[in-house]
Structure 1
Amino acid sequence: MNREALMEATRSQMPERRWRHVLGVVSAAEELAARFGGNPEQVWLAALLHDYCKAWPADRMESIIREQNLPPELLDFDKELWHAHVGAWAVREELGIEDEEVLDAIRYHTSGREGMTLLDKLVCLADYMEPGRDFPGVNKIRELAQHSLEEALVAGFDSTISFLLEKGKTVFPLTVLARNDLIRTIRNQTKIS
C-alpha cells in the first residue's frame, strides 16, 4: 500500500479528533527522529498506525484478544491498553504490515517494555507529547525530549502511573518494568559520560 492508501485506511477507522491526534504523533515522531535518529519510513508508518483501532468498540477488541491469543492479561487492565496489541494484529491482518519493528512500536506504544528499541521510544514519546496533548506535566516531557528520549519517557510513564494511582486503578506491570529499565539506561549513560 502506498502512503495515501495507508493514510485513508487509517483515517477511516476513527473520528476526526483522533485523526488529528494521529497526524500530531506523526509530526512529533518525525521531529524526534530528526533529533535522535531512526529510520524515517518506519517512524512514519508506526506513528501513523499506532492508534489504528483505538476507536473500535471494546467488545470487538476483547473478542480479538481472546480469539487471536493476544496476551490475556490485557483483559485484567484498563481497556485503554487493548488497542495497542489489537492494533499490531489488525495492521498485519488488514493492511499487510509485516515489519516486526513497526508492529512492536505499535504494540508497546501505550505500555512501553523493557529493552525498548529506538523506534519504540520515538513512537511512545511522540504519543505523549504531540502538539494536541494538554495534561499536567506535558510541557516538562517536551522540554526533556529536547535532549533525552529516556528522561522524557520516564516523565511520561511517571505521569501515567501517577494518574492511575490517583484514580485507584491498576498499573500494567510492563509500564513499571519499562520505566525501571529506562532509569537503568539513564544511570548507565551518566556513568559513561
Structure 2
Amino acid sequence: KEHPDCDFTFLVGSDQVEQFHKWKEADALARLVKFAAVARDGRSPRTKYPIHYIHMDPVPVSSTEIRRGNRLNYVPQALLDYFYANRLYCKEFVQSRVPQHRYMHSLSVARLTEQFATAAGLDANQAWLTGLFHDVCKAMPADRMRPWLEAVCPQELTMHPAAWHSYVGAQVTDRVFGIHDPRISNAIFHHVKGTSDDPLAMCVFCADKLDPLRGYDSYDLIDLCCRDLKAGFEKCRETNREYVDSHRKDAVWTN
C-alpha cells in the first residue's frame, strides 16, 4: 500500500519450497504475493505453487552460520549495524563462543551495564552491547589469544593469561563482529583492571564486578553506582584491589 508502483517478490531459499505447504494460509499467500526461490546448491524442489527459481552462485556461508556470528565478513556493514542497533542475533553471537555459565554472566552484566548507563545519561544500547560482549573471548585458549596480543599490545603478555581476554576481546568485537565503536572497544579492553575513566568503561567494570550472579551481596554498591557512577566506580576499584592484595602475587583482578 505504501509503494503501489513497486512490483514486489518474496525471496525464499529452496529449502523453504519443500515446506511451503506448511506455511500458514499458503494457498492465500501464493495468490497474494509472487514468490521466488534461490536455488541453493543447484537444487530445485518440485512444488505445486507458482514459485520461480533464481540462479545463485555458490556462497560458502549459511544463514545459520550468520546467526551464530560466523563469517560475518559476508554481511554488509549496514546490515550488521542494523543487527546491533536492534539487538538482533547478538546474544547468539556470544552464546556460541562461551560456556553456559559465562553466557548467563554476560547477559546479567549487559543488563546491569545498561542500568548504570541509563542512570548516568549514557547510551543504553551502547552499554548493553559492551556488557554482552565484554567476555566474548573468555573461553578462547591462550595459544589462540597470544597472536592477537603480540600484534596489538605485546606489553600485556606479562599479565596472567586469565586477563588476556579483555585485550583480545576489544579487538575481536571490532574486527570480527564489526562493532566499530572505539568507546565499546576501550571499555572491553579495560574491564578487568578498571584502568579507564571513560564513563562507559566505568559502567561495565562495575557491572562485571557487581554481577548478582557472582553470589555475594552487591546491592549497596549497585545502588551507589546508579546514584553516583564515579563514586561507585572508585569504591568497586578499591574493593577489587583489596581482594587482589589478599591473594597470591600472581593473581589477576577478578574477571
Alignment of 1:37-116 (within 5 A): 37-66=121-150, 69-114=151-196, 116=197
Change (3 A) 1:171 1:150: farther
Relative to the length of structure 2, the TM-score reads 0.61
| Alignment of 1:160 onto 2:244 | no
What's 1:132 paired with?
Answer: 213
RMSD: 2.1
Cα offset, 1:122, TM superposition: 1.2
Q: Distance in 2 between matches of 1:64 and 1:75?
A: 10
Q: Distance in 1 between matches of 2:242 and 2:162?
A: 16
Q: Distance in 2 between matches of 1:127 and 1:90?
A: 19
Cα offset, 1:170, TM superposition: 5.2
Considering fraction of residues, name the structure with more helix. 1
Q: Residue type matched to 2:204 in 1? A: V
Q: Does structure 1 retain, via aligned residues, the 8 Å contact 2:120–2:226?
A: no
Q: Does structure 1 retain, via aligned residues, the 8 Å contact 2:184–2:200?
A: yes
What's 1:144 paired with?
Answer: 224
Considering fraction of residues, name the structure with more strand. 2
Deviation digits for residues 2-42 of structure 1, max 9, x if unmatched? 12322211110101100100110111112112211101221
Q: Does structure 1 retain, via aligned residues, the 8 Å contact 2:212–2:218?
A: no
Cα offset, 1:161, TM superposition: 1.7
Structure of higher RCO (CA pairs closer than 8 Å, 6+ residues apart): 1
Deviation digits for residues 37-91 of structure 1, max 9, x if unmatched? 101221111111111111111221123212xx22222221222321111001111
Aligned residue pairs total 169
Relative to the length of structure 1, the TM-score reads 0.78
Larger radius of gyration: 2
Seq. identity, %: 28
Q: Does structure 2 retain, via aligned residues, the 8 Å contact 1:27–1:130?
A: no
Unaligned runs of 5+ in 2: 1-79
Q: Distance in 2 between matches of 1:155 and 1:78?
A: 24
| Alignment of 1:117 onto 2:201 | no
